[in-house]
Amino acid sequence: MKSKKIGWIGTGIMGGSMCMHLLKAGYEVYVHNRTKEKTDLLTAQGAIWCESPTRVAENCSTVFAMVGYPADVRSVILGPDGVLAGMAPGGILVDMTTSEPSLAFEIFTRAGQQKIAALDAPVSGGDIGAREGKLAIMAGGERDIFEACLPIFEIFGGNIAYMGHAGAGQHTKMSNQIMIASTMAGVVESLLYAAKSGLDMDEVIDIIGKGAASAFSLNVLGRKIAKQDFNPGFFIKHFVKDMGIALDEARRMNLMLPGLSLVHQFYLSAMALGYENLGTQALYKVLVGLNRMDS
């Protein structure tokens, strides 16, 4: 990057940690967030507050976004106060929100019309990965732009990959979430069966968690289920958003994904039951309820 100035939009749990890493690495960071108070820790460390994404982009030739939902991405990038309204030609725009592949392509196209380069670069690794600077980053867009951004990605990323054209980063993240969705059904049903048949869940994970059934979801989230710990590592409400995007994209491609579709239904029940702010392992509580078991 030519400049040490970077713009950052979205300073929630993920974005806030990532932005803090940039400040500590010596970058001059211009920040905006819908709720201003969530930038306080960053401005205390030297970040410069801007009233809108447009103002951020007027100050920086490289701007990152990490917001919540696709509608937020659309607003902060394409909206009347958005990044593209303020960025000069030659700029780089990187959206790290998990969002729609088709929106990533739309942003890439609209940015290109202003001679602005765009990457979609969603992450995996959650709040802990963000805090520790060890996120997985999966990027789509032009390869030379990816390479130009790599020194920044390396500040908060551990496992960083260029996946292809615009949208490829989002598609990769969807592949990740599709894998996790059915795997969570496997974890929950396996432990439900174990409990119902009188086994100790931890003893079951001890023996099955090392072989062909081994999975992060079993060995980390399954252990939480065994402890009745339903606190969020990853919120159900965010996972439901991601599965909805994957199902929309699959529908657009006429792609039948029966496992994802089923698991999405049970997570919708989790939402209906008021579990939106619990961790994804609280899918267990949905199936416990349907089976009238003690949780």
Q: Which one of 37, 198, 274, 294 is in contact with a second copy (CB under 8 A)? A: 198
Question: Which CB, 68 or 129, lies closer to a second copy?
Answer: 129
**Cα angle vertex 93, ends 90, 94, to 5°?**
145
Stretch that binds a second copy, among 7-15, 19-27, 59-67, 182-190 (CB under 8 A): 182-190
Stretch that binds a second copy, among 24-32, 47-55, 69-77, 184-192 (CB under 8 A): 184-192
End-to-end CA distance of the chain: 53
Q: Which one of 10, 68, 129, 232 is in contact with a second copy (CB under 8 A)? A: 129
What whole-number distance in Å separates Cα of residue 87 and Cα of residue 90? 9
Question: Which CB, 92 or 163, lies closer to a second copy?
Answer: 163
Whole-Å CA distances, 103 to 28, 168, 200, 277:
29, 12, 46, 26
Report the 10 Å Cβ neighbour count for 210: 10
Contact call for residue 178 and a second copy (CB under 8 A):
yes
Backbone torsions φ then ψ of 162, nearest 5 degrees = -90, 125
Tell me which residues in 206-225 interact with a second copy (CB under 8 A). 206-208, 210-218
Q: Which one of 124, 142, 202, 240 is in contact with a second copy (CB under 8 A)? A: 124
Sign of the torsion formed by the C-alpha atoms of 100, 106, 112 and 114? negative
Which residue type is seen at 164?
G
Contact call for residue 281 and a second copy (CB under 8 A):
no
Tell me which residues in 45-74 interact with a second copy (CB under 8 A). none
* Residues with Cβ within 8 Å of residue 2, at least 6 apart in sequence: 61
Tell me which residues in 137-176 interact with a second copy (CB under 8 A). 138, 159, 161, 163-165, 167-168, 171-172, 174-176
DSSP label of 212: T
Which residue type is seen at 174?
M
Sign of the torsion formed by the C-alpha atoms of 123, 286, 277 and 128? negative
Q: Which one of 51, 132, 147, 189 is in contact with a second copy (CB under 8 A)? A: 189
Stretch that binds a second copy, among 13-21, 61-69, 80-88, 121-129 (CB under 8 A): 121-129
Contact call for residue 125 and a second copy (CB under 8 A):
yes
Question: Which CB, 73 or 191, lies closer to a second copy?
Answer: 191
Tell me which residues in 225-264 interact with a second copy (CB under 8 A). 234, 246, 249-250, 253-260, 262-263
Question: Which CB, 72 or 249, lies closer to a second copy?
Answer: 249
**Count of positions on this chain that bind a second copy (CB under 8 A):** 73
> Catalytic positions, please?
173
CB of 261 to a second copy, least distance (A): 9
Which residue type is seen at 61?
S
Tell me which residues in 83-112 interact with a second copy (CB under 8 A). 101
Q: Which two tokens stand for residue 282?
A: 């609280």
* Residues with Cβ within 8 Å of residue 276, at least 6 apart in sequence: 235, 236, 237, 240, 270
Question: Which CB, 36 or 143, lies closer to a second copy?
Answer: 143
Phi-psi category of 56—alpha, beta or left, where left has phi over 0 and alpha has psi -120 to 50? Answer: alpha
